[in-house]
Amino acid sequence: MAKLTQDATSIPPEVLAVYEPVIGLEVHVQLKTATKAFCACSARFGDPPNTNTCPVCLGLPGALPVLNRRAVELGIRAALALHLNVQESSRFARKNYFYPDLPKGYQISMYELPLATRGWLVPDSAEKSYVDYNRGGTPLAEIVSEPDLRSPTEAHAYLTALKQVLLYTEVSDCNMEEGSLRCDANVSVRRRGAEQFGTKAEVKNLNSFRYLQHALEFEIERQISVLESGGKIDQETRLWNVTAGRTEPMRSKEFAHDYRYFPEPDLLPVRVSAAWRDEIASTMPELPSAKRKRYVRDLGITPYDAEVLTATRELADYFEAVVNEGGPAKLAANWIQNEFLHLANETGKSLEKYEWPTQAEAAGLLERVQGRILTAASAKKVLLRMFRDGATIDDAVRAEGGTTPLLDRDELERLCVEVIEKNPENAAKYRAGNEGVFKFFVGQAMRASRGQANPQTVNDTLKRLLS
């Protein structure tokens, strides 16, 4: 890519350093509804052209829109997850412009009274070279950031975090290849220390993380070189040309910014009662940032590990389930982000399709590692069999020449209860404060298990039963 942006990167670094980029992102995300925003047509991606259409989304005269309640609900979910203010009353407006797949000649959008501060709902008009009305009317949320970002890297991080939240809350599938998540960027530069923003250009068509990063890098350097050569930045809309690796001005007539907005006469204002908002809030999952804090605080893992494990909701759920099944947290954190992800990659097994070892099996493996029943090296071989062949842990251990299946939790519990019941005097001593006697119980339980138990689990179980 460096080669493609050669012209722009000819600016010496000391000149680049004089300027500060100012970036704001407008993200358009397709809401995960079964049907379109204002009619009952399917919003599914990939159906044959023009099969999911009706008089409403074709814009035939006299057809009246009906607002999809689920779309509003998802908009509220997104707003809550992003800590925006959900407005009690919002209103749709007509945004008038011409586009080949916009048969009505206007889009029903939100303008001066959006659903949430900085959260907007607009139905899609697909940008395609041929006309397919299937996509017309799919519900979109527009999420606009303040011009707070100061580098392409920050913009990338912002979009990553936003996508993560939208996936966790199931507001959108965020599939960039299918156009479910798209991004425009407002970019300007100013001399470091200056208070006033420079003139901005809007860069459109950034439908991948890579394009975003490259387009921003290019546009920042382009603006700097214009200013350095004594020129002036035009306020304009530019397109990222993927093939050429540069931003290019759009023909200005194509984007005449006079949409002649007026309130949509065919739709009532949207009312969001406090009760509805609270009901939706009560169904929100724990968000990635809260998860990370909890992992560090309650499970004692590092912030870095917490970051990796919360990258997707599926991975976080898996990790938590392994810990709930008795997997030691630190070991689970370490193994899942290293061995598990590595083997998943190597064997092509998808977590989303439930092709990983079950959480109970994974916990069993890690308990054996913790209890030194398996060395790390043999545990890795066992795990490979579990991933590649879908083997159970017991079969995989046996196949690797091991002989000692681990006692399951119920068996272990029964065995510990037995040991305590057989030794009431020692139990009484321990309960009276003689902690030295605890070792006796551990020894008895380990012997009774014939080495088929994880010492840590035995410890925990006895402590609980004796308390």
Q: Using CB under 5 A as the criterion, which residues of the chain lie in contact with Zn ion when the complex forms?
A: 39, 41, 54, 56-57
CB nearer Zn ion, residue 124 or residue 367? 124
CB nearer Zn ion, residue 41 or residue 121? 41
CB of 57 vs Zn ion, minimal distance in Å:
3
Angstrom distance (rounded) from CA 146 to CA 185: 11
Helices (runs of H) and strands (runs of E) counted in the chain: 18, 12
CB of 176 vs Zn ion, minimal distance in Å:
25
Angstrom distance (rounded) from CA 384 to CA 391: 9
CB of 147 vs Zn ion, minimal distance in Å:
37
Token pair 């020449």: residue: 401
CB of 349 vs Zn ion, minimal distance in Å:
39
CB nearer Zn ion, residue 57 or residue 272? 57
Please name the residues in contact with 3: beta carbons below 8 A apart, sequence gap of 6 or more.
Answer: none
Tell me the two tokens of residue 241: 């040309």
Contact 274, 89 (CB under 8 A): no
Bridge partners (DSSP) listed for residue 122 = 140
CB of 259 vs Zn ion, minimal distance in Å:
23
According to DSSP H, which parts of 300-408 are helical?
303-309, 313-324, 329-335, 341-347, 359-370, 376-389, 393-399
CB nearer Zn ion, residue 44 or residue 414? 44
CB nearer Zn ion, residue 134 or residue 247? 134
Angstrom distance (rounded) from CA 202 to CA 236: 6
CB of 38 vs Zn ion, minimal distance in Å:
8
CB nearer Zn ion, residue 25 or residue 71? 71
Angstrom distance (rounded) from CA 423 to CA 441: 9
Angstrom distance (rounded) from CA 198 to CA 188: 5
